[in-house]
């Protein structure tokens, strides 16, 4: 089977020839540049002095390229967005050496000049004439958003300010998606995954600080946003209603551009779970999010062949029936280390409702801290649990982070290809 056929068969809850594998098709199934470089060197795909590309500067995720896909047997490929979280394009690459010595290629507008303390700051649209929107601390691994919250005046709080970054796709963007989706569809046989169109991703905390905005207005403080889910529900309902209007318009335009060439579309990246339980009640999800998720998923299922992808970390077992009723096809990252997220229970109770895209290894404990043998045993056990009857695409729980022993990462992929 081709990788694309393999993924689609699993999404139909049928068992393909071998288990599908994803790495790097989304910004929540990626790999940090530092460990990516070590992996490529260990596999003989790069020399120590050869750089890797930073395709997501915010999280410092690296490019999973074609040689790595072939060696690991990856079945997916991303249809990347034209711009990154900071609002500038990944283009005109320049060399830079990371804090730990990893050789990198970063986009032209990625600031590499440290301040007096050795910190690196990034700027909206790469414009250093305005205040920075994120900080990479000296010796750190990824950027922290800088909160630029202005005093909130309830009387002047507007929906327009809150959704400034979510506009209608431009002709230039649509032409890019048309050409790039055609290239990926015709020149590769991978399953094509897109990270989402503006307006569908309701309440994703990664967007709240407005990293790409030079002067963000509205509710832009992370804590204030979470509090607002309770204290400003009426306002946020207006925000989500307007976002959904924009999202539906963009879905129509995006579909005209890419047709059925993509297979998976990420709809939501909002985290609804903590380590021990949901962030919000089922009632609040049903009131504030679910009606809009249903509208978005309904349009996609009625007008396209795409499968819809929800990413939500943490313990979200209690919300799974509502996610299913909201129309989501794919659940990620399947945080098996969180409360009530037992793989056997999830597969038994929700195996017909969702394709589990993730949950392949415990990235909070096993992958960074256990032995290679323990990594392989856990992967083997989890594949056995998830694989039966299809409905599973192997991926780690969220992105593969820096600092993981490369021996453990090699053991992970050895096990996947042994037991898939």
Residue 59 CB partners (closer than 8 Å, separation 6+): 27, 30, 32, 142, 143, 399
Residue-wise pLDDT for 243-301, tens only, equals: 999 999 999 999 999 999 999 999 999 999 999 999 999 999 999 999 999 999 999 99
Residue-wise pLDDT for 343-400, tens only, equals: 999 999 999 999 999 999 999 999 999 999 999 999 999 999 999 999 999 999 999 9
Confirm whether 221 is domain-assigned.
yes
CATH value at residue 67: 3.20.20.210
Q: Supply the range of the domain harboring residue 11.
A: 3-45+63-85+147-419
Instruction: Identify the bridge partners of residue 192 per DSSP, sorted by sequence position.
Output: 77
How confident is residue 61, by pLDDT bands cut at 50, 70 and 90? very high
Dihedral pair phi/psi, residue 104, rounded to 5°: -130, 160
Number of domains the chain is built from: 1
Question: What's the predicted TM-score (pTM) here?
Answer: 0.98
Residue-wise pLDDT for 247-260, tens only, equals: 999 999 999 999 99
Percentage of the chain modeled with pLDDT above 70: 100
How confident is residue 142, by pLDDT bands cut at 50, 70 and 90? very high
Confirm whether 157 is domain-assigned.
yes
Confirm whether 241 is domain-assigned.
yes
Residue-wise pLDDT for 7-43, tens only, equals: 999 999 999 999 999 999 999 999 999 999 999 999 9
Confirm whether 410 is domain-assigned.
yes
Confirm whether 112 is domain-assigned.
no
Q: Cα(10)–Cα(393) distance, rounded to whole angstroms? A: 7
Confirm whether 127 is domain-assigned.
no
Confirm whether 238 is domain-assigned.
yes
How many angstroms separate the most distant Cα atoms in the chain? 61
Confirm whether 213 is domain-assigned.
yes
């Amino acid at each position: 089977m081709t990788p694309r056929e393999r993924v689609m068969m699993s999404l139909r809850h049928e068992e393909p020839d071998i288990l599908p594998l994803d790495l790097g098709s989304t910004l929540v199934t990626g790999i940090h540049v530092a460990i990516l470089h070590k992996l490529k060197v260990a596999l003989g795909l790069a020399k120590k002095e050869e750089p890797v590309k930073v395709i997501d500067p915010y999280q410092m995720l690296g490019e999973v390229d074609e040689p790595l896909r072939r060696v690991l047997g990856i079945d997916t490929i991303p249809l990347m967005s034209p711009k990154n979280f900071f609002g500038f394009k990944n283009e005109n690459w320049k060399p830079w050496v990371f804090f730990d010595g990893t050789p990198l290629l970063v986009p032209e507008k990625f600031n590499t000049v440290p301040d007096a303390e050795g910190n690196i700051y990034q700027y909206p649209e790469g414009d250093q004439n305005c205040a920075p929107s994120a900080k990479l601390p000296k010796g750190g691994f990824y950027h922290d958003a800088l909160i630029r919250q202005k005093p909130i005046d309830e009387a002047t709080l507007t929906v327009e300010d809150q959704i400034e970054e979510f506009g209608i796709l431009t002709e230039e963007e649509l032409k890019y998606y048309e050409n790039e989706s055609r290239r990926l569809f015709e020149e590769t046989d991978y399953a094509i995954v897109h990270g989402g169109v503006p307006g569908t991703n309701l309440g994703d905390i990664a967007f709240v600080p407005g990293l790409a905005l030079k002067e963000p207005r509205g509710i832009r403080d992370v804590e204030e946003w979470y509090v607002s889910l309770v204290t400003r529900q009426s306002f946020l309902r207006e925000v989500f209603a307007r976002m959904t209007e924009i999202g539906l318009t963009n879905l129509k335009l995006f579909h005209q551009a890419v047709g059925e060439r993509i297979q998976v579309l990420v709809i939501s990246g909002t985290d609804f779970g903590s380590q021990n339980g949901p962030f919000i009640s089922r009632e609040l999800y049903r009131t504030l999010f679910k009606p809009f998720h249903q509208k978005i998923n309904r349009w996609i299922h009625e007008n396209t062949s795409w499968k819809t992808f929800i990413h939500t970390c943490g313990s979200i077992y209690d919300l799974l029936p509502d996610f299913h009723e909201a129309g989501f096809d794919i659940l990620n990252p399947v945080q098996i280390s969180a409360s009530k997220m037992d793989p056997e229970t999830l597969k038994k109770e929700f195996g017909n409702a969702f394709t589990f895209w993730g949950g392949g290894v415990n990235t909070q404990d096993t992958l960074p801290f256990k032995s290679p043998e323990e990594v392989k045993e856990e992967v083997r056990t989890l594949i056995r649990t998830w694989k039966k009857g299809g409905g599973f695409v192997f991926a780690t729980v969220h992105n593969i982070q820096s600092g993981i022993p490369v021996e453990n990462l090699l053991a992970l992929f050895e096990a996947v290809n042994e037991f898939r």
